[in-house]
Amino acid sequence: MWAFLQHLSFWDWLALGTVLLILEVFGAGGYLLWIGMAAAAVGVLTFVVPDLSWELQFLLFGLLSIATALYWWRRQRSAVRQSDEPNLNLRGQELIGKTFVVHEAIVDGRGKIKVADGVWMARGPDAVTGSRVRVTGQQGAILLVEPAE
C-alpha cells in the first residue's frame, strides 16, 4: 500500500476523477462532479509537477474537494428564488377568496360547488343550490366556504 501511495501518478488521479464523474451520472446532486473535478485538477498538477509527494497530493485533493463542494453548495443556495406563483402546484389554494355557485345544496355542512368546469366538495353553513359562496380555506380536497355578500 505504501509503495502504491509513494508512486501515485497523474493517471491515478484522472482515473479517480473519471470514476467520480461517472458516479455523478447516477444522481449525486452535483457534489461528485466537483470532487471529480478536484481529482482531475490534482491529476493535471501531478502531470505538470511530477515530484509532488503523495501527502501533498492528498492535501491538495482534500482542499480542492472542500473548496469546490462549498462553491457548489453556495451556488445552489443562491439559485433558489421565490416563485411568481407560490400556489402553482397547490391545487385549490388559488381558489381561496373567490366566489362560486353552489352546485349541490350544502346541508349539514356538506355540499358541492361549481368551479370552472369541475365540481368540488364544500364544507360550510347551509346554502341552497344556485346561491353564491366564497372560498375561505381548504382541507385536503374539501373547500371551506361561507356565504358571499
Ordered structural domains, the chain, with CATH = 2-79 (no CATH), 93-147 (2.40.50.140)
- Answer whether 92's CB lies under 8 Å from 115's CB: no
pLDDT in tens, 105-115: 999 999 999 99
pLDDT in tens, 27-41: 767 778 888 999 999
**pLDDT over 80 (residue 146):** yes
- Answer whether 80's CB lies under 8 Å from 57's CB: no
Query: Facing residues of 115 across strands?
Result: 118
- Answer whether 119's CB lies under 8 Å from 100's CB: no
Residue 147: name the closest of 105, 90, 84, 94 by CA.
105
pTM above 0.75, yes or no: no
